[in-house]
Amino acid sequence: MLIIYCFLFYTIRTATARDTLNLGQSIRDGETLVSANESFELGFFSPGKSKSRYLGIWYKKIGNGTVIWVANRDAPLSDRSGALNISSQGNGTLILLNSTNGIVWSSNASRTRNPVAVLLESGNLVVKDGKDIDPDNFLWQSFDYPSHILLAGMKLGVNLVTGLNRFISSWKSTDDPAQDDYVYGIDPSGVPQAVFRKGSTIRYRAGSWNGLHWTGMPQLQPNPVYTFEYVSNENEVFYRFNLIKSSVPSMMVMNPLGDPQRLTWMEQTQKWAPFVPFSGLILDQCDNYALCGAYAVCNMNSNSAKCECLEGFVPKSPSEWDLLDKSDGCVRRTQLDCEHGDGFLKRESVKLPDTRFSLVDNKISLLECKELCSKNCSCTAYANADVRGGGSGCLLWFHDLIDMKELSESGQDLFVRMAASELDDIERKKPKKKKKVAIVITSVLLVTGVILLGGFVYLWKRRHRKQGKTDGSSKLDYNDRGNREEEMELPIFDWMAIANATENFSDKNKLGEGGFGPVYKRGKKLRLKDFQKVPDKEWRSSKMKSF
């Protein structure tokens, strides 16, 4: 169940709004700094039911004062005697003092002659030299030390030069902002990847960046709320997002239950709501780290996780595998034989394995990547590092392949090292599979053809049966004569010959009169040349026309 929460604070006595703290000034309990457009506020607060006091930053206008950063989260004040000021030693350090002037918390900053602290409209509390507004020159900033929330513009990652690690971590409870065990950040080991931990144990691994998104997080897509970027170079590696519209606040939250969420402010309901499609990290059972062990792929089947060994691999512990404990994973059916040549088997549409023991080269092709892996007997697999533009770069693995997941969309191709003999066995099995498929397809086509042909014959007979009934009424006058009539030949007389024979239809030649008109006797003999014999079919035709 998705849990949405915010941290409330006691009512604060607000002095005249200001966003800057100068040398010699202080912020005492009850006083605040407010950003230029009043989006954020800095001051002292007590979370939930707690009586302890903390220095923090919260949204001023929305979210009932949702706290986004806490300075002394692990060192609370016991009363309202706290005061924040800039050290008079001239080193630009922010210090938080208690009732006995003991330092409860402090920032670290370089020496400067004119240090000032400013609460920016982004929610970032910075220490800088006088009027210098260049972010690269900030002496210190709260964005480098996130609490439980990642805001727009914050970096999630590691400075490889100074060792500064930016991550978000959960509160112990809604009443206690002290850092708990749940942490989400970027692990720079091997090839950097986004990782969610509880203590030192990995619970979820989003994977390495593939040019578009984390390999295990295809739901991270361009959207109308925010953009995102990933940077990895010799100095730093980080991920961050930026809002498209500042009027639609969005943030990533690590709540006390260890459930990372993407929340967006809904103006209509005046509440924080999960952002779809990316509302959290762990979407199903297969997102649990290394659920199926090494050399196995996890896929969701009817809302339950199903583990399958890679082709050419078998369960390491068959008995436990049958009992649904598949954490031991799989082992090779045939051991590698690098000296005599190994090959690679392509596994499509997967979340790429853990890259903590991997190397990356973004400048070479997939073919060159294969050659590098082939030459190194310790290399267990390879893949493209970047999927854009048909694929580029090279990822190499030098350890067991762990934490793979079947992805129906946006999965990547992984080329797994296999013994040549194992590949031969797999190839020999393929024709049988193809033959079975061909038989099935042929059978389906034949059955379909028979059904279609039967339908056609049925419709043809039905159509001609109806046509026969229509024609039958016009054939009643001669059908009863039988087949002998087919050979009958009847004379057709010329009109003038008939007129001469009846003396121009004279009454003296009339024999009588019926329903079809008068009947005449022949006055003159008709000669053979006065008529001609015609086939029965033509007679019928002429007879039908007369009607």
DSSP assignment of 171-235, as one string? EEETTEEEEEEEEEEEE-SSS-EEEEEETTEEEEEEEEB-SSSBTT-TT----SSEEEEEEESSS
Give me Rg for the CA atoms of the chain. 45
Which residue bears the tokens 């080991």? Answer: 189
Model pTM greater than 0.95?
Answer: no
Burial 35-59 (b: 16+ CB within 10 A, else e): beeebbbbbbbbbeebebbbbbbbb
- Say what the alpha-carbon torsion angle 503, 504, 509, 510 is, to the nearest 10 degrees: 170
Long-range contacts, 439-446 (Cβ 8 Å, 24+): none
User: pLDDT truncated to tens, each residue of the chain (547 aa)?
Assistant: 444 444 433 333 344 569 999 998 999 999 999 999 999 999 999 999 999 999 999 999 998 899 999 999 999 999 999 999 998 776 789 999 999 999 999 998 777 788 999 999 999 999 999 888 899 999 999 999 999 999 999 999 999 999 999 999 999 999 999 999 999 999 999 999 999 999 999 999 999 999 999 999 998 889 999 999 999 999 999 999 999 998 899 999 999 988 889 999 999 999 999 987 666 777 889 999 999 999 999 998 777 899 999 999 999 999 888 888 889 999 999 999 998 889 999 999 999 999 999 999 999 999 999 999 999 999 999 999 999 999 999 999 999 999 999 998 889 999 999 999 999 888 887 765 555 655 667 777 777 777 777 777 777 777 766 555 555 444 434 444 444 444 444 555 565 666 676 676 666 666 556 554 565 555 444 444 444 444 444 434 443 333 3
Two tokens, residue 459: 């419709």
pLDDT of residue 346: 96
Please tell me whether residue 162 adopts helix, strand or coil conformation.
coil
Q: Which fold has domain 1-145?
A: Agglutinin, subunit A (2.90.10)
| SS3 assignment for 411-460 | CEEEEEEEEHHHHHHHHHHHHHHHHHHHHHHHHHHHHHHHHHHHHHHHHH
1-145 matches 148-283 in fold: yes
Contact of 208 with 395, CB cutoff 8 Å: yes
Beta pairing partners, 26? 85
- Best CA proximity match to 287, nearest among 296, 302, 298: 298
- Best CA proximity match to 60, nearest among 46, 39, 35, 36: 39
- Going from N- to C-terminal start, the domains of the chain cover 1-145, 148-283, 287-424, 485-546
- Best CA proximity match to 229, nearest among 245, 246, 241: 241
Task: Show the DSSP H helices in 198-355 as ranges.
Answer: 318-322
Which residue bears the tokens 């050659």? Answer: 371
Task: Show the DSSP H helices in 103-145 as ranges.
Answer: none
Q: Cα(42)–Cα(196) distance, rounded to whole angstroms?
A: 29
Two tokens, residue 111: 């020496």
Which residue bears the tokens 């009846």? Answer: 502
- Best CA proximity match to 289, nearest among 358, 194, 377, 410: 194
pLDDT of residue 449: 72
At 288, the amino acid letter reads: N
Q: Tell which phi-psi region holds residue 393, choosing left (phi > 0), alpha (psi between -120 and 50) or beta.
A: left
Beta pairing partners, 386? 392
| Assigned architecture for domain 148-283 | Orthogonal Prism (2.90)
